[in-house]
């Protein structure tokens, strides 16, 4: 199983509880916990290096880290242990009631010592049944009291009124043609104001338009 990545410690100080002796030349990183129980003792020798998050828990007995030993980050030492001089313990290693010899090199993530405890199932009796407390009531159904929605009548949509077609009378083709010719002649007169031919054409188209208006029925 691969090792989990180390998490940075959120505390910049160290925790010291009980009978703990630390040599002034020891280097201790942030987040280290040195805990000595009522019958325990923790002794940190000269030149010792404790990485970030190291925990030394002397429940009963003495945890002694000899001179020049190095413990990587996340190392856990529990019980009566002796870490030999100039030894190197990799990160995330667990040492339980076990001595580390001098100049030893322990790989990261190693578990040393008593890794578990045995249980005598023959002498142990069955576990007593767990009874519910007297004031325990069954949990109410969340959907029990919810009212059923009544069906709603369909909404009638009134039809939109039909649009009444509007017929726009258009001018006769002859008048449309005459009006177009007059616009063209006006444009030519505007572009060529000194040309007498365009002036005459415009005058004749105007006379023709007047005659068509007179002949057309009212």
**What integer pLDDT is reported at residue 195 of this predicted model?**
66
**What integer pLDDT is reported at residue 82 of this predicted model?**
96
* pLDDT band per the 50, 70, 90 thresholds, residue 157: confident
Percent of the chain scoring above 90 in pLDDT: 42
The SS3 assignment for 199 reads helix
pLDDT digits (tens, 9 = 90+) for 75-120: 999 999 999 999 999 999 999 999 999 999 999 999 998 766 554 5
Count of other CB atoms within 10 angstroms of residue 63: 25
**What integer pLDDT is reported at residue 112 of this predicted model?**
93
Which CATH superfamily hosts domain 15-113? Hexapeptide repeat proteins (2.160.10.10)
Place of tokens 């649009």: 163
**What integer pLDDT is reported at residue 26 of this predicted model?**
95
The SS3 assignment for 23 reads coil
The pTM of this model reads 0.51
Q: Crossing angle for the helix pair 196-215 and 173-191, nearest 10 degrees? A: 160
N- to C-terminal Cα distance for the chain? Answer: 106
Which regions of the chain carry the CATH code 2.160.10.10? 15-113
Mean pLDDT of the chain: 77
């Amino acid at each position: 199983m691969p090792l989990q990545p180390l998490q940075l410690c959120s505390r910049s100080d160290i925790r010291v509880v009980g009978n703990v002796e630390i040599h002034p030349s020891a280097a201790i990183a942030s987040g280290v916990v040195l805990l000595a129980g009522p019958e325990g003792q923790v002794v940190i020798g000269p030149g010792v290096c404790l990485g970030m998050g190291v925990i030394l828990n002397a429940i009963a007995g003495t945890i002694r880290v000899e001179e020049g030993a190095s413990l990587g980050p996340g190392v856990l030492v529990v019980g009566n242990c002796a870490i030999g001089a100039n030894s190197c313990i990799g990160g995330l290693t667990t040492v339980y009631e076990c001595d580390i010899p001098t100049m030893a090199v322990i790989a990261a993530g190693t578990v040393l010592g008593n890794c578990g405890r045995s249980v005598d199932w023959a002498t142990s009796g069955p576990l007593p049944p767990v009874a519910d407390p007297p004031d325990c009531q069954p949990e109410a159904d969340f959907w029990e009291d919810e009212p059923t929605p009544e069906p709603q009548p369909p909404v009638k949509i009134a039809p939109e009124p039909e649009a009444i077609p509007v017929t726009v009378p258009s001018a006769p083709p002859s008048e449309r043609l005459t009006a177009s010719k007059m616009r063209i002649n006006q444009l030519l007169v505007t572009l060529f104001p000194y040309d007498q031919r365009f002036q005459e054409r415009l005058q004749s188209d105007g006379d023709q338009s007047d005659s068509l208006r007179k002949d057309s029925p009212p």
